[in-house]
Structure 1
């Protein structure tokens, strides 16, 4: 046989062998915990698998549906992928030029409130929410379902999702939801995850005991995208005592809103008859809060969160007991770690409040002319 034919036959055999190779990868699945709900138990499941393949999410119970908590592509890790996959990963990485990687990073990570700047981590909750959340089972192929993912190297995929009993979720409109101390639950908009109804306002009012706040977390949020001018034809609005805390549309995940009082209202406002957006799935919870505080005289608030509050004295003044211009209070079990009534007033002090005296040397120049 001529050398040219040998080469052709060899290349053909190699191509057939490559086509028959199937990527093998390890998959680690474990139930992290079970959470008791008013109407059953919810399981929290974590999976570590390879991104290059068909990914299936399902629940052990036939009456529970999936909702996604985390979906993270870990480019710098590959222990869930096979040795064969490492060769393919290296080849894809050489083709994946730096500028293309940066373009994809901006495009794929622009949907969330708190995006990290770590290029080795990509949040895929938008994809997995679209394919899985609210469904009893699902399958995802990242290379086919996600824009630009054909250029990605096979790497680890970290998934965390919950399996919620269908009868444990509030799915009706215009409801008043009472939350007991340190209790919580779930609400999904009517029609979720296929559509949400239109031409009406659907609302939920959450109420808990005095001294507590209401925490709302939107695990999946898919409302009609804003218009070119930024306005929302359909939106989700959150109100408290006549104030609007949140008013938005589009696609999000992980949005968290905490009330200042023990009562808060969520409105789903839609203008169209029926829109093929998923709507939303949220978790509500009553959390113990510390009493409201005002800044001590001569200071102002620089940081105010559920767990702490920081006061800073005006320039040139300090807190007399600590000799520091800043003071942070920590909220523990509904109480501040210091008595609010005993916070001292800022006084003049510190280096900025003192006049620094020193010696001054004067030199006289003698003119010899």
Structure 2
């Protein structure tokens, strides 16, 4: 299996990350992509590569995490790939051998595990499928001696549960079949600073009918860093990146003939990205809001209203910021005065 590790100025955490992969009991290669680091990350990578012949280093000018992941994906020789951010780490002694054997047995092209989140006080993301969710709760929350389990399902079965739970890409908890990604030319959109992982995961789940496996085991520890690239990006850039991701999903819908259910699921993912974008808008300074309001179109408002209705139908309530965000839409559209022009500029069509 190929572990792809994009690296940018994470010297403080990099050794722990690499060591956590090295300690896994599995035949692997580590492809570390140094994305123009200016700290001592490059030296740390060189030291590890000198000790372990299965570590390869790719060095490139700073292009962003998507470009780094794509470079690693192009170089990967393993039958399966796993993306690990260099400030996070894998938990010890995970059952990767068993997972890869199960993927071959069920002809699954994706395996999804759980992850633990530092900023949620080390809480873990629950699986989407009910049976495996109960197993995870028994092991981790109720501290029972139950063994971990897996469940193989079609993406068509899996997506409704994933959407109901609240779509979260958790890219780092997925194992992907390398040939599957290459056959469909699935890569990360390098123009996006936010939501690139959401776009990648939903395309991987829907570009053809597939079997995937969900596990109850926590594979990954996600560390929240206030100075990470995502958190340092300004809210204006994040807002525009989210709108580009929504447009990319709309292009994806146009280019493929999905059944009604899958189409709806992809729309729901777009709406989750929109909700995040509007959260970024609310955090902007007044001067930035004035500039960004030109990008808020009737199309987006229609998407937001539809997603809010679906959210209410699924969970019985709207999001906490529903009325606040709705009022923002109304004010922006009312002040615009010429909605048709903004619709033309948005590139988004419902």
Q: Same fold (TM over 0.5)?
A: no
**Which structure: greater helix fraction?**
2
TM-score, structure 2 as length reference: 0.26
Q: Which has the larger radius of gyration?
A: 1
**Which structure: greater strand fraction?**
1
TM-score, structure 1 as length reference: 0.25
